[in-house]
Structures are given as C-alpha cells and as structure tokens.
Amino acid sequence: MRRLGWVLGFAIVLSNGLAAGPAPNGVTVVDEKTAGDVNLKVGGKLEVHLEANHTTGYSWGQVLVEKPVLQKQGKAVYYEYPWDGRVGVGGMEVWKFKAVQAGKQSLRFEYRRPWEKTASAAKTLSFDVTVE
C-alpha cells in the first residue's frame, strides 16, 4: 500500500510537468521541451522538471547569478521512474523556485558529473524569467 501511494504521488508530479504554464495549484511548471521565456508575478511559484539519470553519475546543477529575482525552495528532488523495473532506469529532478522581487533573471542548468570539474556539461538548459 505504501508503494501505491508513492507511485500515485510520482504520477501527479509527472502530470504537472507535461505542459508549460500555470497548473491548477497556481504553480508554473516548465521542462526541457518548454524551455524559453517564463513570466511570473512576485510571489509566484515555478517548478522546473528535468529528465535525469543519477545512476550514471550525472545530475543537474544550477548556475548561480548575482541578485536573483527567484529564490530556490529547498534542494532539488530526484524521482526515479517506478514503472520500468530495470536497473539503471532514469528519472526526473524537480526544482522549485519562488519569485521574490520584480526583475529579470536567466535560470540556467548544467547536466554533469559533479566530480568532473573541468569537463564540459553534457547538456545545458536556460529559461529567461521575468517577474512583474
């Protein structure tokens, strides 16, 4: 029964990530397919859903900026896809942010192995966020 609750919770997270824009709960959800411009109001919430596979050593990292208009809400959470059943299956990282002041910010992520300090990122992704 506990596993069923976890699977249902994960399905809700995934369903929110299928389309960009405000979800019924007022959170704007974006992913790799909807990268681009994001508009929020001060106090608005943003979730970034990024495909990942932690079993390979890769994870997403946020490139920090000076004077951000978004504040990260806790650490990114990794959800492994439960329905596949194979070893090494991928999953999704969910990053949460809150718009704390008006302005513009580039929200940039890099997919890399954290211990490979000099290696180029395997993938990069950017969102240009405008907060009104």
The CATH number assigned to the domain holding 120 equals 2.60.40.2020
pTM: 0.78
Domain that holds residue 8: 2-131
* Mean of pLDDT over the chain: 83
Between residues 91 and 24, which one has the greater pLDDT?
91
Per-residue pLDDT band at 6 (split at 50, 70, 90): very low
Q: What is the pLDDT of residue 48?
A: 96
Our count of domains for the chain comes to 1
Mean pLDDT of 97-117: 95
pLDDT tens digit string along 8-46?
Answer: 344 444 444 434 455 556 899 999 998 789 999 999 999
Three-state SS for the chain is: CHHHHHHHHHHHHHHHCCCCEECCCCEEEEEHHHCCEEEECCCCEEEEEEEECHHHCCEEEEECCCCCCEEECCCCEEEECCCCCCCCCCEEEEEEEEECCCEEEEEEEEEECCCCCCCCCCEEEEEEEEEC
Between residues 91 and 21, which one has the greater pLDDT?
91
pLDDT > 70 in the chain, percent: 79
